[in-house]
Amino acid sequence: MAGNQDYYELLGVAKTAAPEEIKKAYKKMAMKYHPDRNPGDKDAEEKFKKINEAYEVLSNPEKRQIYDQYGEDGLKGGAGMDGADFSEMFKNAGFGGGFSNLGDIFDNMFGGGGRRRARNMPQQGTDLVSKIVITFKESYSGISKEISFNRSSTCQFCNGSGAEPGSSRKACPTCKGTGQVRSGNGFFSISQTCPTCRGEGTIIEKPCTHCRGTGFLKETKKVEVKVPAGIADGMQIRVAGEGNAGLNGGPRGDVYVDVRVREDELFTREGNDIFVEIPITYSQAALGDKIEVPTMDGPVDMTLPAGTQPNTKMRLKDKGFPDVHGRGKGALYVIFKLEVPRNLSDAHKEAIQKLKEFEKEIRERPTLKDYLDKIKKWFGK
Ligand SMILES: [Zn+2]
Ligand SMILES: [Zn+2]
């Protein structure tokens, strides 16, 4: 299951890193590669697994020491470990099978008993996903577009407290302000987080009538999104800090804007290259011609050489998409499609008929000559 990459390298910390440093690095990486934030991205998922694996080891002083001394094999019960399966042991200790959601990460970060602390800590709001549809031309030149979406905001009437202005919080009657309730008696007494106040010790006396005590209100937000030139269908733009409101004064989440690019009637895209098909007639192909070719920046004149074959591709350098990361430009490929006429007029038919008669006269000759040349070559003459 383990990859070969060094655990320290995976988390981007030095071998001498303090536990706090490792925790910080892990949290950052785990947030970045979390599957919820990278839907459908197999690489991110794989990375996320490995980061968890690395943290599982490096966050545990004993395991870390074994890892430092014996490497991954030491943890598998190799090098002198008396066959003890450490990874299995730790899985049984409840730290194994990876995390299923961001909440789990927090729970693990702050430990089971730290729930109350975690609850009151500032937490970043959740991310939102929005969508933008642009034309092919807009994806070429870049554009600024307004998006509108619903998000949660801190209720301005109660400042997010959830309590009706003028009223305050009062000690929770269930737990009398301790945040914990005890059950059982005699030898066994189990302490649990208070279900009424969820461990906070206080409850709202009178819920805010605007947000019904939640501390949040829904709002419709409009944001101007800068879509960079060269963006392709399926890419995502991150608009930082415009997502749902955070908890306990934490920052807003982000908005991820899915970009959809409408297909164009004329042009298609592959990477940063653009393809355009130009229909040409038989006479143009045979005799050559001056033709006008459309590009994203307007038409350009091109010379069609005499004897152009069907599906000939010509490359116009730097007429493709600008790379969205600023790495140069793609090319424009013009593909010449031989168009065979249909529904001929009498005059057209007559002209082609003449061509046919002429072709009949010359048909055998070049083919025969070609054939004789090949025979000669074969016998080495
Ligand atoms: Zn309110
Ligand atoms: Zn309580």
Q: What is the pLDDT of residues 153-170, one digit of tens each?
A: 999 998 888 888 888 788
pLDDT of residue 359: 83
- What spacing in Å lies between the alpha carbon of 210 and ligand 1's midpoint? 5
CATH value of 125-160+212-262 in 3.90.580.10, 2.160.10.10, 2.60.120.10, 2.60.260.20: 2.60.260.20
Give the model confidence (pLDDT) of 56-90 as tens digits: 889 888 888 888 887 877 776 543 333 333 333 33
Ligand 2 center–CA 160 separation, angstroms: 20
- Which ligand does the CA of 167 lie closest to? 1
Of the candidate ranges 180-189, 272-281, 298-307, 347-356, the one whose mean pLDDT is the lowest:
180-189
Q: Is the dihedral of CA 170, 172, 173, 178 positive or negative?
A: negative
**231: alpha, beta or left? (left if phi > 0; alpha if psi -120 to 50):** beta
- For residue 203, the ligand closest to its alpha carbon is 2
Q: Where are the domains of the chain?
A: 7-110, 125-160+212-262, 169-204, 267-340
Ligand closest to the CA atom of residue 173: 2
Comparing CA positions, the residue from 133, 152, 312, 294 lying closest to residue 216 is: 152
CATH number of 267-340: 2.60.260.20
What is the Å distance from ligand 2's center to 174 Cα?
Answer: 5
Q: Cα(37) to centroid of ligand 1, in Å?
A: 29
Q: Which residue has the higher pLDDT, 143 or 63?
A: 143
CATH class of residue range 169-204: mainly beta
Q: How far is the CA of 176 from the centre of ligand 1 (A)?
A: 25
Q: Give the ligand with the smallest distance to the CA of 159.
A: 1
Per-residue burial over 320-341, b = 16 or more CB atoms within 10 Å of its CB, e = otherwise: bbbebeeeeebbbbbebeeeee
DSSP 248: T
Among the listed residues 303, 308, 299, the one whose alpha carbon sits nearest the alpha carbon of residue 281: 308
In angstroms, what is the span from residue 97 Cα to ligand 1's centroid? 40
Mean pLDDT of the 229-257 span: 94
CA 233, CA 260: separation in Å to the nearest integer?
5
H runs (alpha helix) in the chain: 7-11, 19-33, 42-58, 61-70, 72-75, 86-90, 102-110, 115-120, 136-141, 282-287, 346-362, 364-378
Query: Which among 214, 219, 119 has a CA at the least distance from the CA of 161?
Result: 214
Give the ligand whose atoms come closest to the C-alpha of residue 155: 1
Closest ligand, as measured to the CA of 199: 2
Cα 330 vs. chain centroid, distance in angstroms?
Answer: 23
Do the beta carbons of residue 139 and residue 274 sit within 8 Å? Answer: no
Cα of 170 from ligand 1 centre, angstroms: 17
**Are 223 and 249 a contacting pair, CB within 8 Å?**
no
CA distance 79 to 348: 88
pLDDT of 142 higher than 60 = yes
Distance 104 CA to ligand 2 centre (A): 23
Q: Return the pLDDT at 4.
A: 64
C-alpha dihedral, 371 to 373 to 377 to 379, nearest 10°: 70
For residue 320, the CA-to-ligand 1 centroid distance in Å is: 53
How remote is the C-alpha of 223 from its chain's centroid?
A: 20
Expressed in angstroms and rounded, the spacing between residue 198 Cα and the centre of ligand 2 is: 6
Which ligand minimizes its atom distance to the CA of 153?
A: 1
Report CA 312 to chain centroid distance, whole Å: 37
**363: pLDDT confidence band, cut at 50, 70 and 90?**
low
- Do residues 182 and 190 make contact, with C-beta atoms less than 8 angstroms apart? yes
Would you give the DSSP letter of residue 333?
A: E
Could you give the CA distance from residue 356 to residue 360 in angstroms, rounded to a whole number? 6
Q: Looking at the DSSP assignment, which residues form a beta bridge with residue 190?
A: 183
pTM summary value: 0.58
The answer to whether the 169-204 and 267-340 domains have the same CATH topology is: no
Q: Is the pLDDT of residue 113 over 60?
A: no
**How much distance in Å is there from the Cα of 45 to the middle of ligand 1?**
38
Residue percentage of the chain with pLDDT more than 90: 45
In this prediction, residue 381 has a pLDDT band, given cuts at 50, 70 and 90, of low
Domain 7-110 matching CATH 1.10.287.110: the answer reads yes
**CA distance linking residue 361 with residue 113, whole number of Å:** 97
Inform me whether the pLDDT recorded for 94 exceeds 90. no
**Dihedral angle at the C-alpha atoms of 251, 256, 257, 258, nearest 10 degrees?**
-170
Q: How much is the average pLDDT of 13-25? A: 88
Predicted pLDDT of residue 109? 43
Angle at 147 between CA 260 and CA 132, to 5 degrees: 0
